[in-house]
């Protein structure tokens, strides 16, 4: 964590702003720029925690804020405490405290006992540029609040970042949703993370998420595996820029046509390979089509790599798929408000029927891909290898990256489909 002060800007500033906003410290607009109002908000936090109110986020202030970033606190039980009194202190409910502390009996709380106290606000922010660091913190926060969540790593990215997956449910009906094969399409990560948070909360409380779906029933019958960010290195290039210590620094500049600005063009991983052209499904056709698109080697988009699964991210996702028994998969992309369901006529008959149900639930168009986009993608490979339903969902509309202003609508459009896919 770097020290943050007036005039600084970046995704870390933006994350802090969102956190100050939801904890009622009024930082001003959530725009990633550390302004006067944010400095005053930080001073108020500092006074509340007995720190020097200088408006600078250094190590001590960050430690004070970290519980809010994570969405929970390690709480030490005091004399007379009950789940109810602790819930009031954290603006949450006794039921959510119980969910975060499955082994703790509320009737036998001991003074000095440590418990996890979740805050009343959501962990996953959907009004910020969603980086890998934020994802990692959110996963930590959700695990603490909902210890019934299973998480694990499907492998590592080129730069060694964990490709973390989460699992909702324990049932036999396994499905798999993934996001951010393409770096510019990082909005698909908070989409999936928001779903995980809402689902976990509904499961913990026994409430309903969407008409006709009972999360506890779904939990027993299905296992929804979610890998929110397949391409964390690419997303980091788009959101945080090229870091001086990047081992491919010079190459990346060259592959990006000499530009240090990756924010509007870069879809690939850190080796200039388009991960959604790196799967073993008509991979050679994808390769052969590169020239027609002016692709001659590593670059921002459409380079298929040197061989199928040459990239650790694609290999990890394929291996994750091979080691389980998914009856259906969805790869989340942006944009277009369209759902692709077929690959070279290999989709099973129900592929189209289920696709029609998804189209009805989302309001998106059901379509088939053509040209280079129709080769060597994840859903292509899944359909070819398993002859089971596989989909690409293109969420949002306009140019990538799809603006955050579309998030709420995207979530609303996709919530039912994400539930439906697990039971259909």
Q: Which residues contact 9 (CB under 8 A, 6 or more apart)?
A: 32, 33, 34
In the complex, minimum distance from the CB of residue 253 to Zn ion, in angstroms, rounded to a whole number: 23
Positions in 169-208 near Zn ion (CB under 5 A):
182, 185
In the complex, minimum distance from the CB of residue 59 to Zn ion, in angstroms, rounded to a whole number: 39
Q: Which is nearer to Zn ion, 143 or 333 (CB)?
A: 333
Q: Which is nearer to Zn ion, 22 or 333 (CB)?
A: 333
Q: Which residues contact 78 (CB under 8 A, 6 or more apart)?
A: 111
In the complex, minimum distance from the CB of residue 284 to Zn ion, in angstroms, rounded to a whole number: 21
Q: Is 15 a catalytic residue?
A: no
Catalytic residue, from 185, 309, 313, 394: name it.
394
The site that binds Zn ion (CB under 5 A) totals a number of residues, namely: 3
Stretch of residues binding Zn ion (CB under 5 A), selected from 38-46, 49-57, 59-67, 330-338: 330-338
Positions in 127-146 near Zn ion (CB under 5 A):
none
Alpha-carbon span 393 to 359, nearest angstrom? 10
Beta bridge partners of 367: 340
Residues 273-292, buried b or exposed e (16+ Cβ, 10 A)?
A: bbbbbbbbbbbeebbebbee
Q: Which is nearer to Zn ion, 71 or 401 (CB)?
A: 401
CB 174 within 8 A of CB 325: yes
Q: Which is nearer to Zn ion, 173 or 379 (CB)?
A: 379
In the complex, minimum distance from the CB of residue 50 to Zn ion, in angstroms, rounded to a whole number: 48
Q: Which is nearer to Zn ion, 333 or 379 (CB)?
A: 333
Alpha-carbon span 247 to 252, nearest angstrom? 9
* Positive/negative CA dihedral, 103, 108, 112, 117: positive
CB 262 within 8 A of CB 240: no
Binding pattern for the stretch 255-274 against Zn ion, x by CB under 5 A and - elsewhere? --------------------
Stretch of residues binding Zn ion (CB under 5 A), selected from 188-196, 214-222, 237-245, 331-339: 331-339
In the complex, minimum distance from the CB of residue 331 to Zn ion, in angstroms, rounded to a whole number: 8
Closest residue to Zn ion: CB criterion:
333
Alpha-carbon span 160 to 262, nearest angstrom? 20
In the complex, minimum distance from the CB of residue 276 to Zn ion, in angstroms, rounded to a whole number: 6
Q: Is 375 a catalytic residue?
A: yes
Binding pattern for the stretch 276-315 against Zn ion, x by CB under 5 A and - elsewhere? ----------------------------------------
In the complex, minimum distance from the CB of residue 77 to Zn ion, in angstroms, rounded to a whole number: 48
What is the full DSSP assignment across 277-334? G-SSSSHHHHHHHTGGGT--SSSSS----SSTT-SHHHHHHHHHHHTS--SEEEEEEE
Catalytic residue, from 72, 130, 146, 375: name it.
375
Q: Which is nearer to Zn ion, 223 or 269 (CB)?
A: 269
Strand runs labelled E in 80-214:
114-118, 150-156, 162-168, 173-179
Give the Å distances, CA to CA, from 86 to 174, 183, 273. 37, 41, 50
Positions in 332-351 near Zn ion (CB under 5 A):
333
Give the Å distances, CA to CA, from 37 to 7, 16, 20, 226. 11, 13, 11, 37
Number of alpha helices (DSSP H) and beta strands (DSSP E) in the chain: 15, 10
Q: Which is nearer to Zn ion, 149 or 230 (CB)?
A: 230
Closest CA to 377 of 294, 421, 335, 317: 317
Q: Which is nearer to Zn ion, 10 or 355 (CB)?
A: 355
In the complex, minimum distance from the CB of residue 332 to Zn ion, in angstroms, rounded to a whole number: 9
Q: Which residues bind Zn ion (CB under 5 A)?
A: 182, 185, 333
Q: Which residues are catalytic?
A: 375, 394
């Amino acid at each position: 964590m770097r020290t943050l002060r007036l005039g600084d800007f970046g995704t870390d500033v933006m994350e802090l702003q969102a956190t100050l906003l939801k904890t009622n410290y009024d930082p001003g607009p959530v725009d990633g720029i550390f302004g006067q109002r944010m400095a005053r908000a930080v001073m108020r936090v500092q006074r509340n925690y007995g720190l020097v109110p200088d408006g600078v986020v250094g190590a001590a202030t960050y430690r004070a804020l970290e519980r809010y970033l994570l969405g929970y606190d390690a709480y030490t039980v005091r004399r007379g405490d009950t789940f109810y009194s602790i819930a009031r202190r954290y603006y949450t409910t006794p039921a959510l405290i119980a969910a975060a502390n499955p082994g703790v009996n509320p009737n036998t709380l001991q003074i000095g006992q440590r418990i996890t106290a979740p805050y009343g606000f959501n962990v996953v922010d959907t009004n910020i540029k969603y980086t890998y660091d934020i994802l990692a913190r959110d996963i930590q926060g959700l695990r603490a609040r909902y210890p019934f969540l299973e998480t694990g790593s499907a492998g590592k990215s080129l730069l060694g970042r964990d490709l973390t997956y989460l699992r909702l449910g324990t049932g036999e009906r396994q499905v798999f949703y993934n996001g951010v094969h393409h770096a510019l399409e990082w909005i698909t990560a908070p989409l999936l993370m928001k779903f995980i948070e809402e689902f976990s909360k509904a499961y913990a409380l026994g409430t309903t998420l969407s008409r006709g779906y009972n999360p506890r029933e779904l939990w027993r019958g299905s296992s929804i595996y979610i890998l929110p960010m397949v391409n964390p290195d690419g997303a980091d290039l788009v959101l945080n820029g090229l870091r001086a210590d990047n081992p491919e620094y010079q190459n990346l500049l060259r592959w990006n046509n000499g530009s240090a600005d990756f924010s509007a063009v870069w879809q690939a991983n850190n080796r200039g390979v388009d991960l959604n052209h790196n799967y073993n499904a008509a991979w050679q056709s994808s390769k052969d089509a590169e020239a027609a698109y002016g692709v001659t080697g590593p670059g921002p988009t459409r380079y298929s790599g040197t061989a199928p699964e040459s990239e650790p991210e694609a290999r990890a996702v394929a291996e994750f798929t091979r080691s389980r028994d998914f009856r259906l998969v969805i790869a989340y992309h942006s944009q277009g408000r369209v759902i692709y369901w077929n690959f070279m006529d290999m989709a099973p008959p129900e592929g189209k029927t289920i696709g029609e149900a998804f189209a009805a639930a989302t309001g998106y168009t059901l379509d088939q891909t053509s040209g280079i986009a129709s080769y060597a993608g994840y859903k292509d490979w899944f359909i070819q290898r398993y002859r089971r339903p596989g989909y690409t969902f293109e969420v949002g509309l306009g140019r990538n990256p799809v603006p955050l202003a579309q998030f709420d609508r995207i979530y609303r459009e996709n919530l039912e489909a994400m539930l439906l896919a697990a039971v259909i």
